[in-house]
Chains A and B, each alone.
Chain A
Amino acid sequence: MRVASSVILQGALIAAALVMAPWCTAQSGASDSTESLGPPIHAVLTSPPQVPPPTNRSHPAKVIVELEIREVEKEISEGVRYTFWTFGGTVPGSFIRIRQGDTVEFHLKNHPDNKMPHNIDLHGVIGPGGGAASSFTAPGHESQFTFKAMNQGIYVYHCATAPVGMHVGNGMYGLMLVEPPEGLTPVDHEYYVMQGDFYTVGKYREKGLQPFDMQKAIDEKPTYVVFNGSENSLVGDHALSAKVGERIRIFVGNGGPNLVSSFHVIGEIFDRVWYEGGTHFQENVQTTIIPSGGAAIAEFHTIVPGSFVLVDHSIFRAFNKGALAILKVDGPDNKTVYSGKEIDSVYLGDKAKDLQVVSQVTAAAEKGELTLEQQVKAGEALFAGTCSVCHQPNGQGLEGVFPPLAGSDLLAKDPRRAVHIVLNGLSGPVTVNGKTFNSVMPPMSQLNDDDLANILTFVTHSWGNQGMRYSAQELEKTRAATVRPPGAAN
């Protein structure tokens, strides 16, 4: 449509030029103006972590961007206040979204209540200072300059007024996305996250209003390393959210001023990373480096629910300086991808080394040739691996806690009761050899019938107990005839 109308326009001008005085052709010759871009569009800017919607344009346009600088006092951590210098009232500053080829009329406003002069350097701008040379603005004033977005990419912008490190260190940075001509593929969520290091006179989490510490900044020893200007910006109620089965795209920047970021999402893998915010992507990335004054785009899809933690994997920054954000994913479990904890069982290390005899005994039992001696031997190995943890290797139990098996009058009185106990557990008060125990024995039903039969045979043939022989069939019958308590296996 646009092509057709411009052809008609040019045709009309040429026709007019043939008819009218020569100076008209000069007019039509100078038509490389923004008029051919159509009416100006006012860019939609968003506060983090939101991202403006795609431009959905198939052609360049004239775009007007109005960005206001505010110096504001906000919390950097619970009870810790800091005077941030901001673009748009937030750290990072407002997200700017334009398209490659756009002509941008940029208005930078310095609120009259601010104290400092400021300017802006946009990494997506080709020109002196990235715009900083043309946007130096005193409080209560506004500067305008115009640039053309020559290259696609995700670009950092920041203030470049002396001393630059202090302006950046106070939070004056943000991201500008220059979409490729074909736009980005649609995803379910786009999020805006930007890391920064902060330097305060007080220690980490020292309460009160904290001033900027220039010496710490020069020494590159930050007090806080945070996402989006605060320890609490993306946790709790402010966590990012998504559902299982969605595609997520994070525009992640690093304002610095000093640190490089090792960006990682715990429990997720980036399907694609446009490293350094460029045109090519790497696939299947765990952790990506984002330079100071740089950015990247990370895409991944959610498969299982949970809280996925965004960190700078220089890990003391995450846990001792605040570089931590949460993505909360809701939805149904997918146990084939991630099961959660299945078993928590005892591991005895080298106590369990002698289980070879168990496999020999199993072979004999299958052939129907199982002897008492083999059962006792197998039971001994298995007892050491499981029962001895509580009842002790010598069957003495633990005074006041676990009853003894050695010379146990409970076992002697009712040998068959042992089958019930090992299958279904035992809790509540019980008297053994004159002493009362009130503990919980969990069911051992995760062991199979052969193993349990061998253990019981071993126990009754040890430490002065009268020998009883138990068979796998007896275990099988009792197992089928009784109900396991909730949570027990088999």
Chain B
Amino acid sequence: MFLFVPVAVMALAASAAAGDRIPVGPADFTPVLAPAPKQTQVHVAAFLVDRTPVTNAQFLAFVRTHPAWRRDQVPSLFADGEYLSHWEAADELGRSARAQQPVTRVSWYAARAYCAAAGGRLPGWYEWEVASAANQTLADARSSPVWRARILDWYAQPGGQPLPPVGSQPANFYGIQDLQGLIWEWVEDFSSLMVSGDSRTQGDPDKLAYCGAGALSAQDRENYPTLMRIAYLSALEARQTGRLLGFRCASDVEGVP
């Protein structure tokens, strides 16, 4: 069973530097990946997160004012060869990249730079998980088979289709859109989602050898839609890009520890 206690959600004011950012949490939350073997619950402090993923138009504006992140100027250390390759030019979208589509083919470094310039940061994995656990009526809908089925439907469709614009799907309980069913999204701490490359070794004593953060085990193996998202993120490296990989920004709530 999941224990989820949203506290004073609507009482928090939006951060002044945010665009369309929506408050979420604080929450005591049972994540799919436990942070430590004996710790099944996590406290997520209140935060603000973008209503929709960052769009091509927004990222274009960023690239024009921060030319170091143009695809013809960015160091290869910070982005791979496919970075923004679907744009017609380094500072032009062209016909195959619509303004309101979520921006994809961006690396983690580029996403962080954008969020910093927009007065925020990338969301942490637990923040992202809290926000995406909601359906339209419940803060935590993860035990609902309908919630799972919607996500799995998206996983089951092959990835070659053109992306729809952001904001096409109904908002969830918090008023946030497109957390599922549109694109994969970067999170700040994706690289500490240390799922072993061979996901059958959960519980293997060797996992402690992987790194100081320790390999994390899935608590709830039935919540495999979330597990699949974790698997995707753990396959990435920070400079990599993906045709379906974008991001949105978050920020702390001022004055709240």
Whether B180 is near chain A, meaning CB under 8 Å from some CB there, is no
The residue that B197 contacts in the complex, of A114, A116, A133, A214, with Cβ under 8 A, is: A133
A137 at the interface (CB under 8 A from B): yes
A119 (CB) vs chain B CBs: closest residue: B197
Segment at the A interface, from B62-70, B167-175, B236-244: B236-244
Residue B200 interfacial (CB < 8 Å): yes
User: Provided the pairs A83-B157, A211-B153, A214-B224 are in contact, do residues A161 and B231 lie with their beta carbons within 8 angstroms?
Assistant: yes
| 5 A-B pairs closest in CB distance | A129-B198, A162-B199, A136-B197, A117-B235, A132-B198
Would you give the shortest CB distance from B68 to chain A, in whole angstroms? Answer: 24
Alpha-carbon distance A136/B235, docked complex (angstroms): 6
B residues less than 8 Å from A141 (CB atoms): 235, 240
Cα A73 to Cα B201 in complex, Å, equals 31
From B184, which residue of chain A is reached at the shortest CB distance?
Answer: A115
Q: Which residues of B contact A (CB under 8 A)?
A: 82, 148-149, 152-160, 195-201, 218, 221, 224, 227-228, 230-232, 234-236, 240-244
Give complex CA distance A139, B242 in Å: 7
**Contact among A83, A119, A137 with B158 in the assembled complex (CB-CB below 8 Å):** A83
Q: Let me know if A113 is at the binding interface, CB within 8 A.
A: yes
Known interface pairs A138-B232, A161-B199. Does A212 touch B156 (Cβ–Cβ under 8 Å)?
yes
Is A162 touching B159 in the complex (CB atoms < 8 A)?
no
What are 19 A-B contacts with C-beta separation under 8 Å? A71-B158, A113-B159, A113-B160, A115-B154, A115-B157, A121-B198, A129-B200, A132-B197, A133-B201, A136-B197, A138-B240, A140-B82, A140-B240, A160-B199, A162-B195, A163-B199, A164-B199, A164-B200, A212-B152
Complex CA–CA separation, A132 to B201 (angstroms): 11
Chain B residues whose C-beta falls within 8 Å of the C-beta of A166 in the assembled complex:
224, 228
Residues of A near B158 (CB, < 8 A) are 71-73, 83, 113-115
Known: A116-B232, A136-B235, A138-B232. A163 touches B155 (CB 8 A): no
Residues of B within 8 A of A112 (CB): 82, 242-243
The verdict on A53 contacting chain B, using a C-beta distance below 8 Å, is no
Q: Is A487 in the interface zone, CB < 8 Å from B?
A: no
Q: Write out the residue numbers on chain B whose beta carbons fall within 8 Å of the beta carbon of A90.
A: none
Cβ-defined contact, B224 with A162, below 8 A: yes
CB distance from A91 to the nearest CB of B (A): 14
Of the candidates B154, B199, B235, the one whose C-beta lies within 8 Å of that of A138 is B235
Which residues of A (115-145) have their CB < 8 Å from a CB of B? 115-117, 119, 121, 128-129, 132-141
CA gap between A112 and B148 in the complex, in Å: 25
Query: Nearest B residue to A136 by beta-carbon distance?
Result: B197
Chain A residue with Cβ nearest B236: A138
Number of A-B residue pairs at CB separation under 8 A: 100
Q: How many residues of A contact B (CB 8 A)?
A: 33
B residues near A162, Cβ cutoff 8 Å:
195, 199, 218, 224, 227-228, 230-231
Q: Which residues of A contact B (CB under 8 A)?
A: 71-73, 83, 112-117, 119, 121, 128-129, 132-141, 160-164, 166, 211-212, 214
What distance in Å separates the Cβ of B166 from its nearest Cβ neighbour in chain A?
A: 18
Q: How far is the CB of A319 from chain B (nearest CB, A)?
A: 28
What's the nearest-Cβ distance from chain A to residue B89, in Å? 21
Q: Least Cβ distance of B93 to chain A in Å? A: 20
Instruction: Give me 8 other A-B pairs in contact (C-beta within 8 A), A116-B228, A139-B159 excluded.
Output: A115-B158, A117-B235, A119-B198, A138-B232, A139-B242, A162-B231, A163-B221, A164-B200
**Is B242 within 8 A of A133, CB to CB?**
no
Residue from B200, B221, B241 in contact with A140 in the complex, judged by beta carbons closer than 8 Å: B241
Q: How far is the CB of A147 from chain B (nearest CB, A)?
A: 14
A164 / chain B contacts, CB cutoff of 8 Å = 199-200
Q: Which listed residue, A72, A160, A211, touches B198 by the CB 8 Å rule?
A: A160
Nearest residue (CB) in A for B232 is A117
Contacts of A163 in B (CB 8 A): 199, 221, 224, 227-228
Q: How far is the CA of A212 from the CA of B232 in the complex (A)?
A: 19
CB distance from B105 to the nearest CB of A (A): 9
Interchain CB contact (< 8 A) of A211 among B156, B201, B228, B240: B156
Residue pair A140, B156 in contact (C-beta under 8 Å): no
